[in-house]
Amino acid sequence: MSENNISIPEIKFTKLFINGEFVDAVSGKTFETIDPRNEEVIAQVAEGDKEDVDLAVQAAREAFDHGKWPRMTGFERGRIMMKFADLIDQNIEELAAIDAMDGGKLFSWLKSNDIPTVANFLRYYAGAADKIHGEMLKMSKQYQAYTLQEPIGVVGLIIPWNVPSTMFFIKVAPALAAGCTIIVKPAEQTPLSALCYAHLAKLAGIPDGVLNVVTGFGRTVGAAISSHMDVDKVSFTGSTEVGRLIMKAAAESNLKPVSLELGGKAPLLIFNDVDVDNAVDLALLANFYNKGEICVAGSRVYVQEEIYDKFVEKAAEKAKTWVPGDPFDPNARVGPQVDKRQFDKILSYIEHGKKEGATLLVGGKRFGDKGYFIEPTIFADAKEDMLIVKEEIFGPVMSLMKFKTVEEAIEKANKTCYGLAAGIVTKDLNLANRVSRSVRAGIIWINCYFAFDMDCPFGGYKMSGFGRDLGLHSLKKYLQVKSVVTPLHDSPW
Ligand code: ADP
């Protein structure tokens, strides 16, 4: 099959990947994964449940307790991870097409950005795998000690659907480097690329049982992982609501540590001194990139009063360049929302915005009559107490508000239970750095947005979670420290 001259790959992997083999679910059940471009079924995928999680954990436990992976040198693990990265590079087009079809993400962006980047995540952590060191402690005259940085064990990685490949490797790459063994639960909306990665991991030489993938639903597979007595850690990215359930399940089972990257409602503060055209472009990117399905979307746009009217006018004009369309069409900039549930939820927020009295500048409805497309939408003159300003919409909906003073901007930016990201746009770098210190968020972008890098830690303040993905901070999440103490006799020092 071919669309716009891009070949749509055959779906080869639809079963669970446990202990190095693709297997059916114990129940034999499957679920449909839907193409959001046309609402058609792409494939039937194995629907895992508690019994399948038990099998995957058993395999991961065996691989951790008795297998080679945690025991080989970091250098050897790194070499295998490098090979895994090369195999991804050799299959970029196919992997990009799978995520575009399964999740409605832009093919061109996946091909040029997401998929090459995940191969580099593997390389980055592969390079760190042989640099995991403890320290030597002098202690008192009677003792000395050293610390070991040991892999934390069997880890459960529960990931969302908005950036399926990125989320897979943001968690899998550091966990592999640390020497952990893994059970990944991809989101039920986008299960397909994770299964391709399982296949490539095996080809790269990752031993059986080290990387397992159990597809299925959150309330069954996700809940079984987070409450499992033999899972040593859970790393989760998703909604704040589900993060709470995971933490509760961890506390009520074996008290496994969890790290949570949750929802957001990022403020974007735009000061009087900016070039309005550039600031509008940045605000549109912060809201419409990945069709707004991104936890760091800068959906609360605060514009200083002197430029507010001009900003509103230009935003309405420039929004037209964010054209919705098939993610395989090179002219499209906004693909379909991932599924019907998200599509309905976003449209209902838009209706709230209209009823609550915000001014609808552009968009505000479905695009076309097939697929889950929504017109990029902008509300002006929004207010802090409106639902569209308070809650995470996870769609292409931007709210514009006005502020007068720097203090007011800071106060408004912090008026949220979330704290994942924030943006500041101004020519005054001192002002930007000063405001950065007062805004409570895990990442602050000054005169840029979505500037992620594998070396730059990322995670939340407040109800956006805790723990950091990316960078060497993330590697630490998959390690634990052991102190080994020995006596020291007759030392004068
Ligand atoms: P969203 O609301 O954006 O779909 P979710 O937080 O519901 O995000 O989903 C993120 C991931 O969490 C998915 O893989 C989903 O299946 C999983 N999940 C959902 N409910 C639970 C649960 N009760 N326990 C564990 N994982 C869950």
Per residue in 22-44, pLDDT tens? 999 999 999 999 999 999 999 99
Residue nearest to atom 18 of ligand 1 (CA): 218
pLDDT tens figures, 266-302: 999 999 999 999 999 999 999 999 999 999 999 999 9
- DSSP states along 313-324: HHHHHHGGGS-B
- What distance in Å separates the CA atoms of residue 352 and residue 36, rounded to the nearest whole number? 24
Pocket flag, ligand 1, residue 263 (CB < 6 Å): no
Asked if 332 and 323 touch (Cβ cutoff 8 Å), the reply is: yes
CB atoms within 10 A of CB 254: 12
Q: For the residues 173-183, what does the mean pLDDT come to?
A: 98
Q: For the residues 214-224, what does the mean pLDDT come to?
A: 98
Ligand 1 centroid to Cα of residue 223, in Å, is 9
pLDDT tens figures, 112-153: 999 999 999 999 999 999 999 999 999 887 999 999 999 999
Report residue 136 as tokens.
């030597």
- What distance in Å separates the CA atoms of residue 156 and residue 53, rounded to the nearest whole number? 10
Q: Of the candidates 378, 257, 390, which has an alpha carbon nearest to the alpha carbon of residue 315?
A: 378
- DSSP states along 21-36: EEE--TT--EEEEEET
Residue 220 CA, distance from chain mean position: 21
Pocket flag, ligand 1, residue 239 (CB < 6 Å): yes
Instruction: Give pLDDT, residue 227.
Output: 98
Ligand 1 centroid to Cα of residue 188, in Å, is 9
Q: For the residues 402-415, what does the mean pLDDT come to?
A: 98
Pocket flag, ligand 1, residue 144 (CB < 6 Å): no
Ligand 1 centroid to Cα of residue 214, in Å, is 14
Q: Which residues of 390-428 are buried (b: 16+ CB within 10 A; e: fewer)?
A: bbbbbbbbbbbbbbeebeebbebbbebebbbbbbbbbee
Pocket flag, ligand 1, residue 284 (CB < 6 Å): no
Query: Quick check: is 261 catalytic?
Result: yes
Ligand 1 centroid to Cα of residue 58, in Å, is 23
pTM over 0.95: yes
Instruction: Give pLDDT, residue 1.
Output: 38
- Of 47, 188, 261, 375, catalytic: 261
Instruction: Outline where 153-264 has alpha helix (H).
Output: 164-178, 192-204, 223-226, 240-252
Q: Provide the angle, in degrees to the nearest 10, between the axes of the packed helices 192-204 and 92-103.
A: 160
* Complex-level ipTM: 0.98
Pocket flag, ligand 1, residue 187 (CB < 6 Å): yes
Q: Of the candidates 100, 234, 115, which has an alpha carbon nearest to the alpha carbon of residue 169?
A: 115
Instruction: Give pLDDT, residue 5.
Output: 59
Per-chain mean pLDDT for the chain = 97
